[in-house]
Amino acid sequence: MAFLIYKKTHVGKNVRYERIQPLKLGGPDGLIARHVQSLPADQTACWKLEVASLLKLAGYEGDHCAVLFDVNGGAAMNVCFYELVCIHGSCRDTSTNLALDFKIVLDRELVEHQPDFSAAFEASPAAMPKKLSEMLALTGGPDGGNWKWDVPALQIGATVVQPHPAGPPGPNCACGRKVATA
């Protein structure tokens, strides 16, 4: 999984992202294992890890960094980056279920082949960024394990999307409520 640390710089109305290094979440020496092992025994059943705390575990402090997930990986004609906002976790013995909250930073097709696009790019932040959550699991918990990526315990076959704001759908709403209420 391609979780990457990026340096964030505001450039006028845009945000410039420059890749610093990959971020290791899984594995016995990964940040999730380190976080869970640092928790008191009575707090492993349900926990929350904000990105600032995750970055601090990785040795980065301040609000000038972001954790991005490169959805397309090596696809050179499409770019799709999700910015990690928060990780919710629930541990049992040797398993950890995770819900990762993201906001979509960039999702578009490139006009021309740009294989190094993910090294540095600029994006215009949306006034109301699209948000989503993804369920993941690790084979490690407070009683040990190898902390490898696994299939989540509850496989619902869908991505969980943040609820729509209150009120009627706006003119640019793409959530499907506009059609359902028409």
DSSP state of 112: S
As given in the structure block, the two tokens for residue 54 are 């995750």
pLDDT digits (tens, 9 = 90+) for 108-147: 776 666 667 788 989 998 889 899 989 899 999 999 999 9
Whether 165 has a pLDDT exceeding 60, the answer reads no
- In order of 34, 40, 124, 133, the CA distances from 91 in angstroms are 13, 12, 37, 18
Please give the C-alpha separations between residue 135 and each of 23, 39, 144, 178, in angstroms, as whole numbers.
18, 21, 21, 27
The residue ranking higher by pLDDT, 110 or 7, is 7
Greater confidence, 76 or 92? 92
Q: What share of residues in the chain are helix, strand, coil (percent, to 5)? A: 15, 45, 40
Question: Is the model's pTM score more than 0.85?
Answer: no
Average pLDDT of the segment spanning 145-172? 65
Over residues 149-161, the mean pLDDT reads 64
The predicted structure's pLDDT at residue 55? 95
What pLDDT shows up at residue 107? 82
Selection from 41, 53, 133, 48 nearest residue 92 by Cα: 41
Token code pair at residue 91:
């541990």
Confidence of residue 159 (pLDDT cuts 50, 70, 90): very low
Q: For 31, which DSSP code?
A: H
* Calpha distance 39→34 (Å, rounded): 9
Residue 182: pLDDT over 50: no
